[in-house]
Amino acid sequence: EADIYQTPRYLVIGTGKKITLECSQTMGHDKMYWYQQDPGMELHLIHYSYGVNSTEKGDLSSESTVSRIRTEHFPLTLESARPSHTSQYLCASSPRTSGGTDTQYFGPGTRLTVL
């Protein structure tokens, strides 16, 4: 069973606030990911990281930023939240594999509502 945690699980916040969504994993995985899931269920990759001090933007343009200072921690920050940021945010991690099967392990998600 994978151990990946996200906090908070639910967040309701006003426009213009700065927020940080936390994601931590205890498996020592090198690779970590952030997805945004729209109400239609589709997943959009917004950020990923290969390891410490490595971050890349994903397919969907996002106003959020991420950092990876420690292997286990991959927080996502919105400097100024807007109603368009209302969504479900899912964090995932995967181990370094060779010849691989890139199984990703997901956290429970953070449901963000911006009023």
Partner 1 sequence: GDSVTQMEGPVTLSEEAFLTINCTYTATGYPSLFWYVQYPGEGLQLLLKATKADDKGSNKGFEATYRKETTSFHLEKGSVQVSDSAVYFCATGRGSTLGRLYFGRGTQLTVWP
Q: Does 69 bind partner 1 (CB under 8 A)?
A: no
Closest CA to 25 of 7, 43, 42, 13: 7
- Binding segment (CB under 8 A) for partner 1, from list 12-20, 60-68, 70-78, 101-109: 101-109
Residue type, 88: Q
Minimum Å distance from CB 17 to partner 1? 24
Q: Does 77 bind partner 1 (CB under 8 A)?
A: no
Residue with tokens 């890349």: 56
- Binding segment (CB under 8 A) for partner 1, from list 13-21, 68-76, 78-86, 95-103: 95-103
Using the rule CB under 8 A, which residue among 31, 47, 68, 85 binds partner 1?
Answer: 31
d(CA 65, CA 29): 20
